[in-house]
Amino acid sequence: MNFAVGLGAMLLALAACSPSYNITGTSLQSIYDGDMVYLRPIGSENEAAVDSCKIVHGAFSMSGPVDSVMCVRMFIGNAGDNIPIILEEGEITVMDQVYAMKVEGTPLNDKFYAFMTERDSLLTLLKDLPRKESSMILAGYDHDEILRNLGEAEGTLRMAIDKLETDFVTSNYDNVLGLTYFLVLCDNAYQQFGYPTTTPQIEEIYSRAPEDFRQHKDVVEYMNLCEEEEED
């Protein structure tokens, strides 16, 4: 057997067996036709794209090797619209549902978007409270009763969201979902207070986390920033 031919065949066979992702998607918005789609690492959106392709007749596709599972943002068009995707081995489908886009097809993407659907449902109920207040005022409810009922409803919803998020992170300590969403919570705290700090939720998640999670460079960096802020 010719050595070069044999080696080439072996390399092709190895490539065929290597883990890879295949993303296919559709866009219902014709304004995006001809625009580019970019995959960029979450937290490093200014870095070079992991992958890219063009939307043609409302459809796009891209594929590549999976060296390690990672969270990326898919940027669509030039308007900055983007959605998170877990870049992992398998067939990943991106569906445009007019008001939102959904990703499915692989275990971590399915788990993540199931969580996001539940979280968004609770957030919708929370955002609907001012409308409920107006309805109660028009219905003639006593002012104190309105404040009491809405206060209880808001408290219940916020506790439910907090528990949902905490359970999601703690049940995914061993994969990229837990780390990524924990860092989202850290960024939310930073944006809310204007400086790096923790919240009771962040402290609970951190205290329960395994050592390899706590020693991840991004976790160490944020917690160190919080300590430095407390010392100032």
Query: CATH code for 3-105?
Result: 2.60.40.1120
pLDDT in tens, 164-219: 999 999 999 999 999 999 999 999 999 999 999 999 999 999 999 999 999 999 99
pLDDT in tens, 91-124: 999 987 666 788 999 999 999 999 999 999 999 9
Give the mean pLDDT of the chain. Answer: 87
pTM, full prediction: 0.84
CB 176 within 8 A of CB 86: yes
**208 closest CA partner among 168, 155, 156, 161:** 168
Where exactly are the structural domains of the chain? Answer: 3-105, 111-231
pLDDT in tens, 138-173: 888 888 888 999 999 999 999 999 999 999 999 999
DSSP-derived 3-state class of residue 103: strand
